[in-house]
Amino acid sequence: MGRRSLLAAPLVLAGCATGIGEPLPGPPRARVVLFRGIAEISTGLDDFARHLREAGYSASVHSHLAGEQVAERLLTLARQNRLPRPLCIGGHSLGADTAIDLCGELYAARLVTDGLFTLDPVLVGTVPPGPRRVTNFYQAGNGFGRPLAPRPGFDGAIENINLAEVPSLGHFNMDASARIQHDIVDRINALRRA
Protein backbone atom coordinates (compact mmCIF):
# COMPACT_ATOMS: atom_id res chain seq x y z
CA MET A 1 0.00 0.00 0.00
CA GLY A 2 1.46 3.36 -1.00
CA ARG A 3 1.94 6.33 1.29
CA ARG A 4 -0.98 8.19 -0.29
CA SER A 5 -3.29 5.20 0.31
CA LEU A 6 -2.18 4.99 3.94
CA LEU A 7 -2.93 8.69 4.44
CA ALA A 8 -6.32 8.39 2.74
CA ALA A 9 -7.51 5.29 4.62
CA PRO A 10 -8.45 7.05 7.90
CA LEU A 11 -10.41 9.69 5.96
CA VAL A 12 -12.32 7.04 4.03
CA LEU A 13 -13.14 5.16 7.21
CA ALA A 14 -14.12 8.36 8.99
CA GLY A 15 -16.31 9.33 6.05
CA CYS A 16 -18.21 6.06 6.24
CA ALA A 17 -18.59 6.12 10.00
CA THR A 18 -21.57 8.49 9.88
CA GLY A 19 -23.73 5.63 8.66
CA ILE A 20 -25.89 5.08 5.66
CA GLY A 21 -29.36 3.62 5.87
CA GLU A 22 -29.62 4.42 9.59
CA PRO A 23 -32.99 3.70 11.20
CA LEU A 24 -35.53 6.49 11.60
CA PRO A 25 -38.75 6.47 13.64
CA GLY A 26 -40.91 6.30 10.50
CA PRO A 27 -40.54 6.03 6.75
CA PRO A 28 -37.89 8.55 5.65
CA ARG A 29 -38.89 11.43 3.42
CA ALA A 30 -35.86 10.86 1.15
CA ARG A 31 -32.34 9.43 1.14
CA VAL A 32 -29.70 12.18 1.09
CA VAL A 33 -25.98 11.43 0.75
CA LEU A 34 -23.50 14.32 1.11
CA PHE A 35 -19.75 14.51 0.50
CA ARG A 36 -17.30 16.91 2.17
CA GLY A 37 -14.46 18.65 0.36
CA ILE A 38 -10.72 18.20 0.82
CA ALA A 39 -9.44 17.83 4.38
CA GLU A 40 -13.06 17.49 5.56
CA ILE A 41 -13.50 21.29 5.33
CA SER A 42 -17.22 21.16 4.63
CA THR A 43 -18.43 20.93 8.23
CA GLY A 44 -21.59 22.86 7.34
CA LEU A 45 -22.77 19.66 5.66
CA ASP A 46 -22.62 17.87 9.02
CA ASP A 47 -25.07 20.37 10.50
CA PHE A 48 -27.23 20.16 7.37
CA ALA A 49 -27.41 16.35 7.59
CA ARG A 50 -28.31 16.56 11.27
CA HIS A 51 -31.16 18.98 10.50
CA LEU A 52 -32.35 16.70 7.70
CA ARG A 53 -32.40 13.68 10.03
CA GLU A 54 -34.32 15.66 12.65
CA ALA A 55 -36.88 16.49 9.93
CA GLY A 56 -37.31 12.82 8.97
CA TYR A 57 -34.90 12.47 6.05
CA SER A 58 -32.35 9.64 5.94
CA ALA A 59 -29.11 11.63 5.59
CA SER A 60 -25.40 10.98 5.95
CA VAL A 61 -22.12 12.79 5.28
CA HIS A 62 -18.93 11.23 3.95
CA SER A 63 -15.39 12.08 2.90
CA HIS A 64 -14.94 12.88 -0.77
CA LEU A 65 -12.66 9.82 -0.80
CA ALA A 66 -15.49 7.44 0.14
CA GLY A 67 -17.38 7.40 -3.16
CA GLU A 68 -16.75 3.73 -3.94
CA GLN A 69 -17.78 2.54 -0.48
CA VAL A 70 -20.93 4.63 -0.56
CA ALA A 71 -21.79 3.34 -4.05
CA GLU A 72 -21.50 -0.26 -2.84
CA ARG A 73 -23.74 0.43 0.15
CA LEU A 74 -26.39 2.24 -1.91
CA LEU A 75 -26.47 -0.55 -4.48
CA THR A 76 -26.82 -3.14 -1.71
CA LEU A 77 -29.73 -1.23 -0.18
CA ALA A 78 -31.37 -0.89 -3.60
CA ARG A 79 -31.07 -4.65 -4.23
CA GLN A 80 -32.69 -5.26 -0.83
CA ASN A 81 -35.50 -2.76 -1.59
CA ARG A 82 -34.39 -0.73 1.44
CA LEU A 83 -33.34 2.46 -0.36
CA PRO A 84 -35.75 5.34 0.30
CA ARG A 85 -36.79 7.59 -2.59
CA PRO A 86 -36.13 10.13 -3.80
CA LEU A 87 -32.39 9.39 -3.79
CA CYS A 88 -30.46 12.66 -3.59
CA ILE A 89 -26.69 13.04 -3.71
CA GLY A 90 -24.72 16.21 -3.11
CA GLY A 91 -21.39 17.63 -2.12
CA HIS A 92 -19.16 20.64 -1.73
CA SER A 93 -15.90 21.34 -3.59
CA LEU A 94 -14.12 18.02 -4.22
CA GLY A 95 -17.14 16.40 -2.57
CA ALA A 96 -19.26 17.87 -5.37
CA ASP A 97 -16.94 16.20 -7.88
CA THR A 98 -17.38 12.90 -6.02
CA ALA A 99 -21.17 13.33 -6.03
CA ILE A 100 -21.19 13.87 -9.81
CA ASP A 101 -19.02 10.83 -10.46
CA LEU A 102 -21.05 8.69 -8.05
CA CYS A 103 -24.26 9.42 -9.98
CA GLY A 104 -22.58 8.09 -13.12
CA GLU A 105 -21.36 4.95 -11.33
CA LEU A 106 -24.80 4.24 -9.92
CA TYR A 107 -26.40 4.73 -13.32
CA ALA A 108 -23.95 2.26 -14.86
CA ALA A 109 -25.25 -0.22 -12.26
CA ARG A 110 -28.87 0.68 -13.18
CA LEU A 111 -29.61 2.91 -10.19
CA VAL A 112 -30.93 6.36 -11.15
CA THR A 113 -30.33 9.34 -8.87
CA ASP A 114 -33.38 11.58 -8.49
CA GLY A 115 -31.53 14.73 -7.44
CA LEU A 116 -27.89 15.89 -7.62
CA PHE A 117 -26.91 19.00 -5.64
CA THR A 118 -23.43 20.45 -6.08
CA LEU A 119 -21.73 23.37 -4.35
CA ASP A 120 -18.74 24.77 -6.27
CA PRO A 121 -17.46 21.64 -8.04
CA VAL A 122 -13.78 22.23 -8.77
CA LEU A 123 -12.50 19.61 -11.23
CA VAL A 124 -15.56 18.05 -12.84
CA GLY A 125 -17.48 20.30 -15.21
CA THR A 126 -19.84 17.85 -16.90
CA VAL A 127 -22.62 15.58 -15.67
CA PRO A 128 -22.85 11.95 -16.82
CA PRO A 129 -26.10 10.16 -17.54
CA GLY A 130 -27.80 9.22 -14.27
CA PRO A 131 -29.30 12.07 -12.28
CA ARG A 132 -32.77 13.26 -13.26
CA ARG A 133 -32.39 16.80 -11.86
CA VAL A 134 -29.15 18.65 -11.17
CA THR A 135 -28.86 21.88 -9.20
CA ASN A 136 -25.38 23.42 -9.19
CA PHE A 137 -24.70 26.30 -6.80
CA TYR A 138 -21.46 27.98 -7.81
CA GLN A 139 -19.63 31.30 -7.86
CA ALA A 140 -18.19 32.41 -11.16
CA GLY A 141 -14.75 33.94 -10.79
CA ASN A 142 -13.89 32.63 -7.32
CA GLY A 143 -11.21 30.30 -8.70
CA PHE A 144 -13.13 27.15 -7.78
CA GLY A 145 -16.75 26.90 -8.90
CA ARG A 146 -18.03 26.43 -12.41
CA PRO A 147 -21.28 25.87 -14.28
CA LEU A 148 -22.05 22.28 -15.19
CA ALA A 149 -22.83 20.99 -18.68
CA PRO A 150 -24.27 17.63 -19.79
CA ARG A 151 -22.11 14.76 -21.02
CA PRO A 152 -23.30 12.76 -24.04
CA GLY A 153 -26.29 10.65 -23.06
CA PHE A 154 -27.42 12.88 -20.18
CA ASP A 155 -31.18 13.40 -20.48
CA GLY A 156 -32.05 15.12 -17.21
CA ALA A 157 -32.26 18.81 -16.36
CA ILE A 158 -29.38 21.00 -15.16
CA GLU A 159 -29.92 24.24 -13.26
CA ASN A 160 -26.79 26.36 -12.70
CA ILE A 161 -27.20 29.02 -10.00
CA ASN A 162 -24.43 31.63 -10.01
CA LEU A 163 -24.00 33.13 -6.54
CA ALA A 164 -21.24 35.56 -7.54
CA GLU A 165 -23.35 38.54 -6.45
CA VAL A 166 -23.75 37.29 -2.85
CA PRO A 167 -20.89 39.11 -1.07
CA SER A 168 -21.09 37.15 2.18
CA LEU A 169 -20.71 33.84 0.36
CA GLY A 170 -17.45 32.22 -0.74
CA HIS A 171 -16.09 28.84 -1.66
CA PHE A 172 -15.10 28.03 1.91
CA ASN A 173 -18.42 28.86 3.59
CA MET A 174 -21.14 28.00 1.06
CA ASP A 175 -21.57 24.52 2.59
CA ALA A 176 -22.92 26.23 5.72
CA SER A 177 -25.25 28.64 3.90
CA ALA A 178 -28.78 28.46 5.31
CA ARG A 179 -30.08 29.91 2.03
CA ILE A 180 -28.52 27.13 -0.06
CA GLN A 181 -29.61 24.43 2.39
CA HIS A 182 -33.18 25.76 2.32
CA ASP A 183 -33.14 25.75 -1.49
CA ILE A 184 -31.92 22.15 -1.51
CA VAL A 185 -34.69 21.04 0.87
CA ASP A 186 -37.26 22.77 -1.34
CA ARG A 187 -35.95 20.88 -4.36
CA ILE A 188 -35.92 17.56 -2.50
CA ASN A 189 -39.53 18.10 -1.50
CA ALA A 190 -40.42 18.94 -5.11
CA LEU A 191 -38.89 15.60 -6.11
CA ARG A 192 -41.00 13.88 -3.46
CA ARG A 193 -44.17 15.46 -4.85
CA ALA A 194 -43.21 14.51 -8.40
Q: Is position 5 within any domain? A: no
pLDDT tier at 26 (50, 70, 90 boundaries)? low
Determine the pLDDT at residue 12: 39
- As beta bridge partners, residue 88 has 32, 115
pLDDT (tens digit, 9 = 90+) per residue, 72-125? Answer: 999 999 999 999 999 999 999 999 999 999 999 999 999 999 999 999 999 999
In a domain, 21, yes or no: no
pLDDT at 20: 56
* Residue at 68 is within a domain: yes
The residue among 123, 127, 95 whose CA lies nearest residue 113 is: 127
Range of the domain at 56: 27-193
Q: Is the pTM of this model over 0.75?
A: yes
112: domain CATH number is 3.40.50.1820
Residue 12 lies inside a defined structural domain of this protein = no
pLDDT band at 189 (very low <50, low <70, confident <90, very high): very high
How many domains, in total, are found in the chain? 1
**Residue 178 one-letter amino acid:** A
With respect to residue 18, please indicate whether it lies within any of the assigned structural domains: no
- DSSP for 136-173? EEE-TTSSS----EEPTT--SEEEEEE-TT-TT--TTT
Q: Is residue 127 part of a domain?
A: yes
